Amino acid sequence: DIQMTQSPSSLSASVGDRVTITCRSSHSISTHLNWYQQKPGKAPKLLIYAASSFRGGVPSRFSATASGTDFTLTISSLQPEDFATYYCQQTYSSPRAFGQGTKLEIK
Amino acid sequence: QVQLQQWGAGLLKPSETLSLTCAVYGGSFSGFYWTWVRQPPGKGLEWIGEINDSGSTNYNPSLKSRVAMSVDPSKNQFSLNLNSVTAADTAVYYCARLDVESNGAHLDYWGQGTLVTVSS
């Protein structure tokens, strides 16, 4: 099975900060990597699929890159609505594992 | 606009069977994998498994011995059964649609979630 390791597990930042979240897969998954945002009490929401393709409506302050088995999600200038938990997920093979999540909190 | 609406029993006793159903509105039922994901209170997301409209399934090996998924294309519905539940199965359960494209697959629509509590 492919394991997804996400870091950091939590992050404290201020509005306007630039933050980066990293996800590493235990095996090659090509670009079969998605990023989801989840707010308390809500279902996860797809932000980015295929490592760097944006779902419609995602603000341009979000960006994503892939390099081998390393994937990053960057928010260039944090806005109040960005404080949430972010998950990566590989869909290269079953079981389609999620990373353990990164909780982004207001400093 | 695609919507997923899910329902099922929210309180179970240990050893009982969890049963949830998810209905799909506003879009095609064929051509997708229909997925179940769960989230224990305060914890991360766990992929349970998926089923397509033909009934082909993939399950998480950690749950495979207790999980069964089914599909009813005539009603645009799919279901999850998880038997012999314990307190460790207490979680919010989500249904979701997996859209498979040439460059990958992603969960693009989600149900509202159902909290299932296992307690004696």
pLDDT at B18: 98
Query: Mind listing the pLDDT tens digit for each residue in A18-71?
Result: 999 999 999 999 999 999 999 999 999 999 999 999 988 999 999 999 999 999
Using H for helix, E for strand and C for coil, what is the string for chain B? Answer: CCEEEEEECCEECCCCCEEEEEEEECCCCCCCEEEEEEECCCCCCEEEEEEECCCCEEECCCCCCCEEEEEECCCCEEEEEECCCCHHHCEEEEEEEEEEECCEEEEEEECCCEEEEECC
Q: How far is CA A47 from the centre of its chain?
A: 8
Give the number of beta-carbon pairs within 8 Å between A and B: 74
The residue count for chain A: 107
Tell me, yes or no, if A72 comes closer than 8 A to chain B by beta carbon.
Answer: no
Q: From the list A43, A49, A100, which residue is nearest B44 (CB)? A: A100
Q: How far is CA B78 from the centre of its chain?
A: 8
A94–B98 C-beta distance less than 8 A: no
**Average of pLDDT values for B4-32?**
97
pLDDT at B103: 83
The residues on B that touch A, with CB distances below 8 Å, are 35, 37, 44-47, 49-50, 58-62, 94, 96, 98, 101, 103-108, 110-113
Query: Mind listing the pLDDT tens digit for each residue in B29-81?
Result: 999 999 999 999 999 999 999 999 999 999 999 999 999 999 999 999 999 99
pLDDT higher at B24 or B102: B24
* Mean of the per-residue pLDDT values of chain B: 97
| Among chain A residues, CA nearest to B60 | A95
Give the pLDDT band (50/70/90) at residue B102. Answer: confident
